[in-house]
């Protein structure tokens, strides 16, 4: 199978990377291509939109959080299934440690540069040549965003010299809407598929130039170790049934986290706090992922069954793992951006308050008895609590103190989002009653 793979990057955030990636994915799918999309760096919302655009799950790639070996395995698997692999970068091409450029060089992914040409013409060439030379990176071509006219596109194309202009997008009358943690969730956008189709229609793509790109050659790594012991002992979570909150308030879930729990032997069951569904009675552990509880304060506060079921689970000693929004819903109260205060489940003493300023961002690792669990943090709220932290995450790469990790009985709560494949043994312990 012939597969083309590119890393879609830009000089900075806000240049249109997600819009271009979504439009290109949808255009290639409509052209009959099998497309797989990945997102560089920690992210939950962009992958949901990109999954709608290409019709397949979107995994994260990150040399630190995910690890080079797993990244290679994910890319190699996609190369066996798809004609096109699109990897959306994060921030600017060289921003972060590791950066999107580091990922490009590690796996030989040529860069497809997105430039916001709305306020420039020939300077586009200087920008793109600088992006190519600084690393350096292999530059596959350019997609120019916010092009005003065919003449504008011609000036940009001429300025690129030996770098092809593979596509252009005009200024968009309708764009993918955003809120404080990024894009609005796909199910909240009325007519999202129509918008994606419109973007695909507006994207002019030189399909012949795309097909002339070099083939991707991504070799699979050595086979990973099995999840069970070599002597055939049971999987660490065999017999476990983990109840996972999943609805519009709790949806920040890496597909790989769910796959890791299943690979460890657990069965997964889902419940909706927004619908006031209780924790399933046969659950042996509970997972409350992040999300937007602050947007659903009234419904969550009115839900007595889900709150009571969590208090009962905690009293019974069931392991409860709460990340970011999941932790916010377990505080005594949650104050939204409008200043309205809502009572929550109350397993964790204290008050959560939304704020306009970003409170936490970046890659971090949580210490455990089985070594560090890698992940990240991204939140606009703060928790005021008298509960002392049982541990503190470490920021990458500085090693500075990061997020507090609270442990009350069988509850573990933090703003930290763990990436479970980075340490399956630690994850198994988190969801095991004896360890909790």
**Mean pLDDT in runs of 10 for the chain (436 residues)?**
91 94 97 96 90 95 97 96 96 96 97 97 97 97 97 98 96 63 56 90 94 88 55 80 97 95 98 98 97 96 98 98 98 96 97 94 96 97 97 96 97 98 98 79
User: How many structural domains comprise the chain?
Assistant: 2
Tell whether 15 and 149 lie within a shared domain: yes
Tell whether 315 and 204 lie within a shared domain: no
Nearest to 73 by CA among 223, 207, 213: 223
Task: Report how far apart, in Å, the C-alpha atoms of 88 and of each of 176, 198, 405 are.
Answer: 15, 20, 31
**Strands laid side by side in the 84-88 sheet:** 59-61, 35-40, 84-88, 4-10, 111-116, 139-147, 165-170, 204-205
Give dist(CA 281, CA 262) in Å, integer. 20
- pLDDT value, residue 98: 95
Tell whether 255 and 194 lie within a shared domain: no
347 lies in some domain: yes
Tell whether 290 and 388 lie within a shared domain: yes
Secondary structure letter of residue 323 according to DSSP: E
Domain with residue 198: its CATH number is: 3.40.50.300
Nearest to 186 by CA among 376, 22, 20, 336: 22
Tell whether 167 and 78 lie within a shared domain: yes
222 lies in some domain: no
- pLDDT value, residue 233: 57
Boundary (domain end) residue, out of 196, 211, 226: 211
Give dist(CA 422, CA 394) in Å, integer. 15
363 lies in some domain: yes
Return the residue matching tokens 């071509």: 141
**Reported pTM:** 0.91
Tell whether 167 and 306 lie within a shared domain: no
Q: Say which residues have a Cβ less than 8 Å from residue 94's Cβ, sequence separation at least 6.
A: 100, 101, 134, 135
Domain with residue 279: its CATH number is: 3.40.50.880
Q: Say which residues have a Cβ less than 8 Å from residue 151's Cβ, sequence separation at least 6.
A: none
- pLDDT value, residue 172: 81
Tell whether 206 and 272 lie within a shared domain: no
Q: Is 324 assigned a catalytic role?
A: yes
295 lies in some domain: yes
Tell whether 253 and 188 lie within a shared domain: no
232 lies in some domain: no
435 lies in some domain: no
223 lies in some domain: no
Tell whether 177 and 301 lie within a shared domain: no
Boundary (domain end) residue, out of 189, 211, 233: 211
Query: Catalytic pick from 40, 54, 71, 324?
Result: 324
Give dist(CA 33, CA 25) in Å, integer. 9
139 C-beta neighbours (distance < 10 Å), count: 23
Distance, CA of 101 to chain centre: 18
Q: Whole domain around residue 79: which residue ranges?
A: 4-211
Tell whether 194 and 253 lie within a shared domain: no
70 lies in some domain: yes
């Amino acid at each position: 199978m012939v597969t083309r793979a590119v890393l879609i990057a830009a000089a900075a955030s806000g240049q249109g990377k997600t819009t271009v990636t979504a439009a290109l994915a949808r255009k290639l799918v409509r052209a009959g291509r099998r497309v797989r999309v990945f997102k560089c760096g920690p992210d939950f919302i962009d992958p949901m939109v990109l999954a709608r655009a290409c019709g397949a799950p979107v995994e994260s790639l990150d040399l630190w959080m995910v690890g080079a070996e797993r990244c290679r395995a994910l890319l190699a698997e996609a190369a066996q299934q798809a004609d096109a692999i699109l990897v959306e970068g994060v921030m600017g091409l060289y921003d972060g440690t590791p950066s999107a450029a580091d990922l490009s060089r590690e796996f030989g992914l040529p860069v497809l540069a997105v430039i916001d040409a709305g306020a420039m013409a020939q300077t586009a060439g200087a920008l793109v040549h600088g992006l190519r030379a600084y690393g350096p990176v292999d530059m596959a071509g350019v997609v120019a965003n916010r092009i005003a006219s065919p003449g504008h596109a011609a000036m940009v194309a001429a300025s690129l010299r030996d770098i092809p202009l593979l596509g252009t997008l005009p200024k968009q009358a309708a764009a993918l809407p955003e809120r404080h943690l990024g894009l609005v969730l796909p199910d909240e956008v009325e007519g999202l598929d129509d918008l994606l189709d419109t973007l695909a229609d507006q994207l002019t793509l030189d399909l012949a130039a795309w097909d002339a790109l070099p083939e991707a050659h991504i070799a699979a790594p050595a086979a990973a170790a099995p999840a069970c012991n070599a002597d055939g002992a049971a999987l660490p979570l065999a017999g476990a049934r983990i109840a996972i909150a999943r609805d519009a308030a709790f949806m920040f879930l890496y597909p790989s986290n769910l796959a890791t729990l299943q690979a460890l032997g657990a069965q997964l069951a889902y419940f909706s706090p927004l619908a006031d569904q209780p924790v399933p009675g046969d659950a042996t552990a509970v997972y409350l992922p992040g999300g937007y509880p602050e947007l659903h304060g009234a419904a969550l506060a009115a839900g007595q069954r889900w709150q009571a079921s969590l208090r009962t689970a905690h009293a019974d000693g069931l392991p409860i793992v709460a990340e970011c929004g999941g932790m916010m819903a377990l505080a005594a109260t949650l104050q939204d951006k409008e200043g309205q205060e809502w009572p929550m489940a109350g397993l964790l003493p204290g008050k959560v308050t939304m704020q306009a300023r970003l409170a936490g961002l970046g890659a971090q690792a949580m210490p455990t008895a089985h070594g560090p669990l890698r992940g990240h943090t991204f939140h606009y709220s703060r928790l005021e609590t008298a509960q002392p932290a049982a541990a503190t995450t470490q920021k990458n790469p500085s090693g500075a103190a990061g997020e507090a990790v609270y442990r009350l009985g069988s509850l573990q709560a933090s703003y930290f989002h763990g990436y479970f494949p980075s340490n399956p043994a630690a994850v198994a312990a988190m969801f095991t009653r004896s360890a909790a």
